[in-house]
Structure formats: structure tokens, C-alpha cells
Amino acid sequence: MFPIQRLQGMQMTTDDLTAAAPSTLPWPQTENKDAAATMHLLGGMLQAELRRAQPGLAALSETEVHAPTLLSAIGVIAGYAAQCAAAHAILAGTKKRQADDLIRVGCEDGSVLYYGDEINRHLIIGPHSTHALSGFLAGAVIQAGYRRADLADAAELLRHISEVACTPAYDLVRAPASHAPLWNVSGILRCLWPKARVVLEHRITPATVSRPLGVQHWPVAAAIVAQQYIMLGKDLVPPPVAMAIILESALKASKRRLIGAYASPLATQEDAFFGRRAS
């Protein structure tokens, strides 16, 4: 058994989250305070839920969080948030659907994966992306003193995901043994996304924000939390490794179909997006 690395007593403040953001954000400046509060709650929720999941996470202590698993968890949340944002944009008519925007792939085991540029643009820097997850993560790695050559290779990650699609390896996040997450992508998604969506929609009591974030901003909120996790955990997980864990987790989760009340419209309204004869 490899030595388990943990983050202990890790806390984020609203000021930390606000400072992490770039000079321009996709929401009005008047909503910065509410957005920062939501991100603070999201980060705290993930830590609390991973502590509660001790029986499934190799006996974590009551006050500690396994750092690589937490990094993977925020990646999963960012990835599935990107799927929700992509579906929302098309349903709302703010994004005209193109041929490569969304593609449905059915696997032999009955699972379904969603591919497409409309999802990826929230996660990987490209000609049509703004505030992509990879940009936030790269900023944290560079700020920690690493070079651009040390950054995770998004193109290689996409190739890997294509190669392992519809296989058991799809849910496993690659990392050195000493930094491997203790939970796989689907396990994190099923357990933590419903709770993350409650926070993002601010369906909590007592209310602490006046304006919940719009669906289109969920991926950015998760990206800023992920950026902070890289910085807060840099002495436990090298930032380039942390970036790779988060980004691979995000890309894989963004393509998973989740069944349930908290699923994205791609799963709950498949016929509207793909028709009844989708392959």
C-alpha cells in the first residue's frame, strides 16, 4: 500500500477565491461576492463529503482529506458542469448547434458517452473557448514556479480518452502510484455531483447568496476552486501532477451519462438532442 498523502485543515476563504479569478469573469462584477460565496461552499462541501465517505476511501481519518482524491473530485465536478452548460446553451438557443458540437456514443455495456466541441470548450483552451478549466489550472502551475513544458498535454489526454472509451480503464485516472485517487470517476460523479448541484443552484438553508450562478457559469466556478486546490495542495501533490489529475477527471466526467434527478439535459432529454435512433 502506497503512503497516503492528505490535506489536513485545508480551508478556503472568500478572499482567496476572489483573488484567484482572472481580471475578467463571465458574470457581472456585481455578482462577484455571490459567486465567491458559492465557490467557498462548493470547496467546503467536497472536503466534508470525502471525509464522510471514509468506508469507501481506505479509512481516512476524521480530520483529513486525501489530496489526490479531492483533486479528482473537483475535476469531476468541473467536467460534468461543462456537460450541463453545453446542454443549457443549446436548449436556450444561445449556441447554434454544429455537427461536431455533440455526439452520442453507446457502449456495449449499455453506458453512454457524450463527445463534442461544445463540452470541450469549457475544459480546454481553444479558438472558441473562454475561461477554460485548463487555463485556470495552467495559471496555478506556472504560479507555483513550473514551466509551460510541465503543463498537462490536453491533446494527449484527449487521445487517451478516445483510446479507452467504453473500457474499464475509462474510469481510472492515471497518476503516479503515490498520488493516485482512491475513487474512480463514475464513483465520484454518482456520489458528489448531486450535492454539488445543490450548492451551485444554492438550494441550501440558510441562504447566503442573493443570486445563484447561472448554469453557464458552473464550469468556471469549479475551475476557480480547482485552481485553489492546486495551490493549497502543492506541497503534497506536485502542481503538474495535480493539473493532470484534475483535467483527466474533468474530461472523462464530462462525457459520462448520469442517470437521475440531478442529471444534465443530455441524459434527461436525449431525444431532443440526438433523436431516437442515436447510435
Q: Mapped to the 3 state alphabet, what secondary structure does 25-91 carry?
A: CCCCHHHHHHHHHHHHHHHHHHHHHHHHCHHHCCCCCCCEEEHHHHHHHHHHHHHHHHHHHHHHHHH
C-alpha cell at 36: 465567491
pTM, whole model, 2 decimals? 0.89
Q: How many CB atoms lie within 10 A of CB 123?
A: 30
Report residue 218 as a C-alpha cell: 458552473
How far apart, in whole angstroms, are the C-alpha atoms of residue 122 and residue 140? 17
Per-residue model confidence (pLDDT) at position 279: 42
SS (H, E, C) the chain: CCCCCEEECCCCCHHHHHHHCCCCCCCCHHHHHHHHHHHHHHHHHHHHHHHHCHHHCCCCCCCEEEHHHHHHHHHHHHHHHHHHHHHHHHHCCCCCCCCCCCEEEECCCCCEEEECHHHHCCCCCCCCCCCCHHHHHHHHHHHCCCCHHHCCCHHHHHHHHHHHCCCHHHHCCCCCHHHCCCCCHHHHHHHHHHHHHHHHCCCCCCCCCCCCCCHHHHHHHHHHHHHHHHHHCCCCCCHHHHHHHHHHHHHHHHHECCCCCCCCHHHHCHHHHHCCCCC
pLDDT at 101: 79
pLDDT score for 10 = 45
Residue pair 121/133 in contact (Cβ under 8 Å)? The answer is no
Report pLDDT for 57: 56
Tens-level pLDDT at each residue, the chain (279 residues): 223 355 544 444 545 444 544 457 888 888 888 898 899 999 999 988 888 775 555 544 455 788 899 999 999 999 999 999 999 998 887 766 666 678 899 999 999 999 999 999 999 988 777 789 999 999 999 999 999 999 999 999 999 999 999 999 999 999 999 899 989 999 999 999 999 999 999 888 777 777 889 999 999 999 999 999 999 889 889 999 999 999 999 999 999 999 988 999 999 888 888 875 444
